[in-house]
Amino acid sequence: MPTFDRVSEVYDATRSLRPDVMEAVLDGLEQALGGTNTLLDVGVGTGRFADPLRRLGFEVVGVDLSRRMMAKAREKQIPDLILADAESLPLRSKSFEVAMIVHLLHLVDDWGRVVGELVRVASRYVVSVIEKVEGPRFRDLYIESGEELGQPAKKLRRGEEGLESLCKPSRSRVLVRYADETEADTEIDEYESRIYSATWDIPSTAHAKIVRRLRDEYGGKRIRRKHEFSLVMWTPRELQNLHPST
């Protein structure tokens, strides 16, 4: 199974948020989660959020399946890291006040089981930071093109955003909005070199065709987008309705 081990060296350089955007996101998290003692970051990765949250005083424990991603988190002095599958957390029920997921649900085999585990271990909230984008998203274009070529997407394609539309959270707040412009070729190059997970299961012939399609349509263009980051907070009870068995 492909894992994030393959991108641990480039993850922070390719997925970091703009500093002003990160600051606004962290301010929002700090305000909303103030008073929380224990926070579990499921799919902690390199500690993109766990590290600054720990510096803000939260007691953060991270869980991940990728040893190399967690090695990066360890370099950032995040002490409590557990190698485990989000579908079966080796943790006691209600052992954390808050369970956080960012960019996890689109990756897992059984997102329902993961949500069930979050509901089980969190006593107060399951939270996520969700980015919505207006404008072309190469991830969506890549997946749609793959589907047209007979490579169906198997997972919860929109991840946490998909969960938000399936189960409306009682607390949700826009943290920051901004617009930007990027070179399409730079992003298509990144897809071509398979640094994004959407590309990992796609056989090389289909991958080459998809990349060619992206270049035919967007090569040489500048892409304008509007971004909106929201903090979304579900109570375990809200999510439990999705999982009557938990």
Residues that bind ligand SAM (CB under 6 A): 3-4, 15, 43-45, 48-49, 63-66, 69, 85-87, 102-104, 107-108
- Cβ(1)–Cβ(202) below 8 Å: no
Count of CB atoms situated within 10 Å of the CB of 225: 14
Residue nearest to ligand SAM (CB): 45
Q: Kindly tell me which of 48 and 213 has the beta carbon lying closer to ligand SAM.
A: 48
Least CB distance to ligand SAM at residue 220 (A):
29
- Least CB distance from residue 73 to ligand SAM, whole Å? 9
- Tell me how far, at minimum, the Cβ of 129 lies from ligand SAM, in Å: 8
- CA 127 to each of CA 137, 171, 241, 242, 246: distance values in angstroms, whole numbers, following the listed order: 24, 9, 16, 16, 18
Q: Residue 176's closest CA among 2, 36, 28, 77?
A: 28
Closest distance of CB 221 from ligand SAM, Å:
26
Alpha-carbon gap, residue 33 to 13, rounded angstroms: 27
Cα–Cα distance measured from residue 40 to residue 233, given in angstroms and rounded to the nearest whole number = 14
Compare residues 32 and 86 and give the one whose CB is closer to ligand SAM: 86
To the nearest whole angstrom, how small is the minimum distance from the Cβ of residue 107 to ligand SAM? 4
Residue 22 vs 149, nearer CB to ligand SAM:
22
CA 86 – CA 191 distance, rounded (Å)? 26
Whose Cβ is closer to ligand SAM: residue 60's or residue 188's?
60
Which stretch of DSSP H or E encloses residue 138? helix 138-148
Would you say 10 or 208 has its CB closer to ligand SAM?
Answer: 10
